[in-house]
Chain A
């Protein structure tokens, strides 16, 4: 059994492992109060609230939701779309699945409020295809809301109409990138679009489109429920609200935890997570999904908000923290990461398609004991040539872990190369 947050503590995480919240329970917990408030306001006023709350996007990039909504063209006669990103592909991340599977009404209430605010009458929720059970749960929840008159022609008796479509992905990490996601809904391979134009101007089916993460929707609901000020007070003045943190790897109690934005990483790992398995010292921490630069164990005193983690040389990303302890070979860990990005490159840009392959082969050859002197610098140089040279951020996502692993654990890499074998005694698994 995996410990999670105390069910009563959470504003975002309202239930623990194995539990779920149905429509009756959602109502009992004050469900739809936020929506009712929003519908009594003008869409402009709702957007103002969201802007004042400065919700930083929970999908990884931290872009303020209110500001993004402001990019919608005012005079475009085309329909507008709201698209929810539930692709949850960044390795280490498992938070959005919770909302789909255990608390879908929080997500859906946020979706209705956001669609109302931006003037969208269709919302698509794009869920990764592996999530068969979560998709079933979400679809059932959508149907319940139609039957309850909360979705459809008249949302809660108001003149506002909204349809929600749950759209399945089919196994491609790149479809988490917002423009690839739109291509995927349109029935095409998930190849990111060149930007500009940004989706807010030319998005789904050529229409203005807002794309937000699942947890961002849960935050929108909180902002309407409690007001922007109280939302901000739940976190930091400029980066407010509660945050869902994921904890995985060598910790005693992995799982999802809720805390204020800006929670100390040490508190998350040692108090919430109960410390490391066998109380071993920490060797490395990936703070926000596998694309975020790795921190050494001694960099644990950082606060988990977008600006602080950036100042520490990494990124908050999805706040999915993966911990590995002493005795773990960083070359082996990086091998998994490099393999992932090489596999998931859509193949559209040469630096990413070829570069990720180079990174994978180089790291793998070190892992298999065939590394050559100079390989560390070759890795840094190859990764450096991907950075910033691709249509979407997958190239950066592949390059950053390589650069950071080599910089943070260079001795391990050099030792691996010198010995022609793993200094920790790993035998690389054939795959």
Chain B
């Protein structure tokens, strides 16, 4: 039997995705999965006929554990899976959800595709940019929020839709977005400064 992998069992790490380590300087490999993630990783290996098939789920685990895929994180995954580093790079760079840069603790994805466009996505995106003071692809200076314009989220019947970390928020309006942002600000501790957890 394949037990429930619970791949997405934990939410983003408490250190916050922005707490990912600075990988410049060629330091020694210091990353390692937490014991919880290690358990998921081991279950993952049991599910596939070869190790490379576990690559994308493992990279997802790594994004959730380390906040994003630094070069070090990719090297770590290559080593753990015993697949060539080049294969990990090639796969990691192909997929948009395998983030290669630090994100805010709350990563906001705004759907800009047709159905959402017809229901005011541009207006919503404009509102978010103004409220957060950042553009698409940027992170607020306190590390709390990042913003990204994305393609259809498959929520077109409840457009416009946004996704914040794991959750969809549908039938959005600027007022609902404001309420969400306020709630997120109230309920999260201040994010650590970049690289500050080392």
Contacts and interface: CB of A to CB of B under 8 A. Distances in A.
A171 B98 contact: yes
Contact of B151 (A96, A186, A249, A340): A340
A187 B114 contact: no
Contact of B156 (A91, A130, A143, A184): A91
B147 to A, nearest CB: 12
B53 to A, nearest CB: 5
A172 interface: yes
Given A171-B95, A322-B156, A188 B90 contact: yes
A274 interface: no
Contacts of B1: 146, 151-153, 163
A153 B109 CA distance: 41
A130 B91 contact: no
A246 interface: yes
Contacts of A135: 7-8
Contact of A133 (B50, B119, B166): B166
B138 interface: no
B120 to A, nearest CB: 11
B118 A324 contact: yes
Given A146-B2, A333-B117, 10 more contacts: A91-B156, A92-B115, A92-B152, A143-B3, A170-B97, A173-B151, A187-B53, A189-B95, A333-B114, A336-B117
Given A133-B166, A168-B57, A332-B117, A254 B98 contact: no
Contacts, number: 175
B4 interface: yes
B132 to A, nearest CB: 16
Interface of B: 1-8, 47-50, 52-57, 59-60, 83, 87, 90-91, 94-98, 109, 112-115, 117-119, 122, 125-126, 136, 149, 151-159, 163, 166-168, 171
A339 B197 CA distance: 39
B174 to A, nearest CB: 15
Nearest to B98: A170
B91 A254 contact: no
25 contacts: A2-B158, A91-B115, A91-B151, A91-B152, A92-B114, A96-B154, A130-B97, A140-B4, A167-B56, A169-B56, A169-B97, A170-B60, A172-B95, A187-B53, A187-B91, A246-B156, A249-B115, A249-B118, A254-B156, A255-B157, A290-B113, A290-B152, A328-B118, A429-B125, A431-B125
Contact of A336 (B54, B90, B112): B112
A97 B94 CA distance: 24
The interface residues of chain A, by DSSP majority, are classed as: mixed
Interface string A341-360: 00110100000000000000
A171 B97 contact: yes
Given A165-B2, A340-B151, A431-B136, A188 B91 contact: yes
B154 A132 contact: no
B54 A168 contact: no
A136 B90 contact: no
B93 to A, nearest CB: 8
A152 B2 CA distance: 8
A185 B23 CA distance: 29
Closest 8 CB pairs of A and B: A187-B55, A171-B97, A189-B94, A170-B95, A171-B96, A91-B152, A248-B156, A187-B52
A166 B191 CA distance: 33
Interface string A139-165: 110110010000111000000000111
A216 interface: no
A266 B156 CA distance: 20
Contact of B114 (A163, A184, A247, A290): A290
A255 B94 CA distance: 32
A89 B119 CA distance: 19
A203 B56 CA distance: 18
Contacts of A152: 1
A170 B109 CA distance: 14
